[in-house]
């Protein structure tokens, strides 16, 4: 989510807010949380992400724990991902939908031997918890909100796995996406999730909140030894938009359905059986298209439209912008936005409230 300035002091904040301020970080709002926007020059942080690695404070999460013998079956019935077949050490990304197919939350699930961690966004923490809880009636499942006792950092870049290997001895390179391990880093117990950030290798560490300051210090030191740096979310926003990755809360929310947001292949398992919202998902799938689609945008004059800016084509309403960032690869701003089907082809010229825009295919080709 694009940073907003000034940032309201009443917003929730990362547990390391004062530590980051002491390091001269500029603070912005991301996913409704005060987090570092940048620690230094944004393009230097972007280059480090592309060529080495960066350490990112990702404490915009909400984390829940499901225990009890029915936990897999229960979550499988309310999420779009296949939770039923997850074994300890495996994970999946899915969606929590309304019966009408609209997106309430994006939820990553990680199976442990005795429980399942479900990780969403703090901005929908209360709504997610109440929705996940309300169908527990006859099931032998216990749900606990552990957000206040946990935190997360993410390493992004080609050398992210090297940092993990050096600190923990774990080799992430052979693990499938969303697989995870328990490891000790600098005497701190952490759960390490292997995934990607856009098209870059990444690893997210989940640890106890009391250990976050010490864990950050260990990770920062090891990252710097590999030409890495701490990075704010402004640089990582550029990386993910160049990769065409949508963010919950800015590019999709409860106003859209998965196919409109382009999530039908990454977030939905079509073989798993029934779940909330499945009827709508299958109806759209059988129809073969939606009337609007999240699409890539380029703004060649370096004017960066705000989220919500209307897009027109030859005077006709075409859609609106959801998020933007400067693309070092193209040398101009890029973004995502919802476009009517007839305007979503690459190369289509658009107007963004007086600024020229063009539909582009994402991810960008290197």
Burial 34-60 (b: 16+ CB within 10 A, else e): bbbbbbbebeebbbbbbebbbbbbbbb
| DSSP 3-state of 181 | strand
DSSP result, 270-296: SSS---TTHHHHHHHHHH---SEEEEE
Q: What is the pLDDT along the chain (366 residues), one digit of tens a residue?
A: 444 445 666 799 999 999 999 999 999 999 999 999 999 999 999 999 999 999 999 999 999 999 999 999 999 999 999 999 999 999 999 999 999 999 999 999 999 999 999 999 999 999 999 999 999 999 999 999 999 999 999 999 999 999 999 999 999 999 999 999 999 999 999 999 999 999 999 999 999 999 999 999 999 999 999 999 999 999 999 999 999 999 999 999 999 999 999 999 999 999 999 999 999 999 999 998 899 999 999 999 989 999 999 999 999 999 999 999 999 999 999 999 999 999 999 999 999 999 999 999 999 986
Dihedral sign of CA atoms 340, 331, 307, 15 in order: positive
- Sheet with 142-145: strands ordered across: 91-97, 103-111, 116-121, 61-67, 142-145
């Amino acid at each position: 989510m694009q940073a907003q300035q000034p940032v309201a002091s009443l917003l929730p904040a990362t547990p390391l807010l004062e530590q980051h301020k002491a390091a001269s970080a500029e603070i912005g709002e991301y996913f409704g949380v005060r987090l570092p926007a940048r620690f230094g020059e944004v393009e230097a942080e972007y280059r480090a992400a592309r060529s080495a690695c960066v350490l990112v404070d990702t404490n915009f999460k909400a984390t829940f724990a499901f225990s009890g013998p029915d936990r897999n079956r229960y979550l499988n019935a309310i999420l779009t991902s296949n939770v039923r077949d997850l074994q300890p050490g495996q994970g999946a990304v899915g969606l929590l939908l309304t019966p009408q197919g609209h997106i309430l939350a994006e939820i990553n699930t990680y199976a442990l031997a005795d429980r399942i961690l479900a990780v969403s966004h703090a901005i929908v923490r209360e709504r997610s918890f109440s929705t996940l809880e309300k169908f527990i009636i006859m099931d032998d499942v216990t749900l606990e909100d552990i957000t206040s006792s946990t935190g997360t950092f993410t390493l992004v870049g080609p050398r992210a796995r090297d940092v993990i290997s050096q600190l923990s001895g774990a080799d992430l390179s052979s693990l499938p996406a969303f697989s995870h391990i328990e490891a000790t880093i600098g005497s701190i117990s952490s759960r390490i999730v292997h995934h990607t950030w856009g098209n870059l290798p990444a690893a997210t560490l989940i640890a106890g909140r009391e250990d976050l300051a010490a864990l950050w210090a260990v990770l920062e030191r090891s990252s710097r030894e590999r030409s890495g740096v701490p990075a704010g979310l402004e640089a990582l926003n550029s990386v993910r938009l160049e990769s065409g990755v949508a963010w919950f809360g800015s590019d999709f929310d409860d106003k859209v359905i998965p196919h409109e947001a382009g999530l039908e292949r990454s977030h939905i398992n079509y073989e798993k059986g029934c779940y909330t919202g499945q009827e709508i998902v299958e109806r759209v799938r059988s129809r073969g298209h939606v009337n609007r689609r999240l699409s890539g945008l380029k703004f060649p004059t370096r004017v960066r439209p705000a989220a919500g800016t209307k897009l027109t084509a030859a005077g006709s309403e075409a859609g609106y912008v959801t998020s933007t960032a400067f693309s070092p690869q193209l040398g101009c701003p890029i973004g995502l936005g919802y476009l009517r089907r007839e305007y979503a082809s690459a190369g289509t010229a658009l107007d963004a409230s007086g600024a020229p825009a063009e539909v582009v295919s994402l991810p960008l080709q290197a």
